[in-house]
Amino acid sequence: MTTHKIKKGFDLPLAGRAEQVLADAPEPTDVGLETGEFVGMKPKVLVKEGDQVKTGQPIFLNKLDRDIVWCSPVTGKVKSVEFGAHRYLCRVVIENSTKDDFVDLAPAGGGSGDRAGVVKAIKGAGLWPLFKQRPVGKMPMGDAVPVAIFVNGMDSAPLAADPAFATQGRKGDLQAGIDLLKQLTSGNVYLSLRAAGDHQSDARSLNGVTVHDFAGPHPAGLVGTHIAAIQPLKTGEIAYALSLVDVARLGEWQRTGKYPTHTVVAVSGSEAKDRKYFRVRQDAQIAALTGGSAPTGDVRVINGDVLNGFAVEPTAYLGFCNKTLTIIPEGTDQRDLFGWAVPQFGKMTNHLSVNFGLKKKEYVADARLNGGHRAIVNIGTWEKVMPLDILPTFLVRAIQANDIEEAIKLGLLEVTEEDVALCTFVDPCKNDVGEIIRQGLDMYEKEA
């Protein structure tokens, strides 16, 4: 076991941490399978409105790889199939009868070394979208064999769910999941855990994984940081990444042959009322986690955390990969008089110029930009929160100049938008660094 100390970074001192209590959320009236989370995917819907579907039955597939499907987490009637522009499938809503009638999803053959077979089985079980491929940070496509699989057993993002806590007591599922992962890679399966963290006894006793400990502020708990510290990828190499919670989901399917219908989601954020961990139906209505009714008022509901997530309608559904649901104030029409000049002691910042030394205190912050967009004026803020050996301003400039070759030389393939989220947060010029990085990655994908 190795401990990596991350020095550069920033932990947003936000109010509204989820209490470490696991409760059962009520059964949602319906579930929604959304496509928006999987950028670049070409969905083809397999059901019609009014169809009766079983738990584990494929609902839509990815036309780019027809083996990859998304399965229904409930048994019930298809309530609606919603399309967006160009008849792009947006979501399929299914009524929840609460009684599960499982489709038999054959588990992968154990330990045969038949990688293709294992991949096909995972895809068929609707669990392939749990994987993220590095570089690029999207669902893995193609036949490239990953040189390593990085399982993330920690999450340092603000108010994010702790995967170690969420998988407590599921050692059997975790071990089955790890055994499955070992068949997918030619190299190691790494497990990253917070140094001296709680609730890790199950995770630390797993066989077949190499455990690495990480200490320090965010982004100490991001897979990009882990890869850079453990085994940086060489040109042409790929790796898979997934969360420990998702390993448990894989393991559950592998052990039972049934679709894992429930997952654990932490509800956090200053505007959330009941802040704790919930065992909840996959793709459930958000209302299931907020006391039965959708959150109201001037709030922003985020599938994910405040540094990496999707803002959704309060009436929408949890995302497929969600581990955290964050509810923060939106901040509509709140405009501070002389906000740029007056000392602000109640505002969250990483800069010293606002409140002269951030006190140990938890802040309620909203979704305002707190300024106008400007050209990059680099006063060293990005570098302070970038622990990777990357020069973020030069990388961004290379992408903006469409110089993809230079960008790759500068480490474009080592990051995704979540790795530079803190740069976006601290930037006084309010640039969306993640968006620029994604543009660069898109360019790379197009050229590759």
Partner 1 sequence: MKFLRNLIDKQRKLYHAKDSKFHKVWPLFDAMETFLFAPDFRAGKKGVHMRDYVDLKRVMNSVILAMMPCLLWAFWNTGAQHFAAVGQLIADGNMVAGDYVTGWLQGILGAPDLAAEVTSASDTIIFGLQRMLPLVIVSYGVGLSIEGLFCVIRKEEVSEGYLVSGMLIALIVPPSTPLWQLAIGVAFAVVLGKEVFGGTGMNIFNPAMLVRAFLFFAFPAQMSGDAVWVAGNTSPSGVPGNLIDGYSEPTALAIVKTAGEDASTVLTDVYSHADLFFGHIPGSAGEMSKLAVLIGAFVLLATGVGNWRTMVAGVIGMLVAAFMVPIMAEASGLPMAGPMYLEPWEHLICGGFLFGIVFMATDPVSSPESNIGKWIYGILIGVITILVRMINPAYPEGTMLAILLLNAFAPTIDHFVVAANMKRRLKRS
Give the DSSP letter string of 73-88: SS-EEEEEEEE-GGG-
Q: What six digits make up the tokens of 365?
A: 């912050």
CB of 204 to partner 1, least distance (A): 29
Q: What six digits make up the tokens of 21?
A: 């209590």
Query: Do the Cβ atoms of 323 and 166 come closer than 8 Å?
Result: yes
CB of 269 to partner 1, least distance (A): 10
CB of 168 to partner 1, least distance (A): 28
Task: Choose among 309, 315, 312: nearest CA to 296.
Answer: 315
Q: Under 8 Å CB-to-CB from 333, ≥6 apart: which residues? A: none
CA dist., res. 298 & res. 326, Å (int):
14
CB of 353 to partner 1, least distance (A): 4
Taking the least distance from each CB to partner 1, the nearer of 83 and 345 is: 345
Taking the least distance from each CB to partner 1, the nearer of 99 and 234 is: 234
Taking the least distance from each CB to partner 1, the nearer of 124 and 135 is: 135
* CA atoms within 13 Å, Cβ hemisphere of 328: 24
Taking the least distance from each CB to partner 1, the nearer of 22 and 294 is: 294
CB of 224 to partner 1, least distance (A): 14
Query: Do the Cβ atoms of 440 and 136 come closer than 8 Å?
Result: no
CB of 443 to partner 1, least distance (A): 18
Taking the least distance from each CB to partner 1, the nearer of 97 and 393 is: 393
CA dist., res. 163 & res. 170, Å (int):
12
Taking the least distance from each CB to partner 1, the nearer of 121 and 139 is: 139
CA dist., res. 122 & res. 115, Å (int):
11
CB of 404 to partner 1, least distance (A): 14
Query: Do the Cβ atoms of 83 and 89 come closer than 8 Å?
Result: yes
Taking the least distance from each CB to partner 1, the nearer of 26 and 428 is: 428
Ramachandran sector of residue 131 (left: φ over 0; alpha: ψ -120 to 50; beta: rest): beta
CA dist., res. 244 & res. 206, Å (int):
12
CB of 184 to partner 1, least distance (A): 22
Taking the least distance from each CB to partner 1, the nearer of 107 and 329 is: 329
Taking the least distance from each CB to partner 1, the nearer of 27 and 237 is: 237
Query: Do the Cβ atoms of 426 and 381 come closer than 8 Å?
Result: yes
CA dist., res. 252 & res. 347, Å (int):
44
CA dist., res. 141 & res. 128, Å (int):
10
Task: Choose among 69, 77, 68, 121: nearest CA to 101.
Answer: 77
Taking the least distance from each CB to partner 1, the nearer of 78 and 302 is: 302
Q: What is the DSSP letter of 399?
A: H
CB of 208 to partner 1, least distance (A): 27
Query: Do the Cβ atoms of 176 and 254 come closer than 8 Å?
Result: yes
CB of 336 to partner 1, least distance (A): 5
CB of 374 to partner 1, least distance (A): 5
Taking the least distance from each CB to partner 1, the nearer of 117 and 232 is: 232
Place of tokens 């990828």: 233
Tell me how far the alpha carbon of residue 241 is from its chain's centroid: 11
- Helix H or strand E segment including 16: none
- Helix H or strand E segment including 101: none
Strand partners, 2: 212
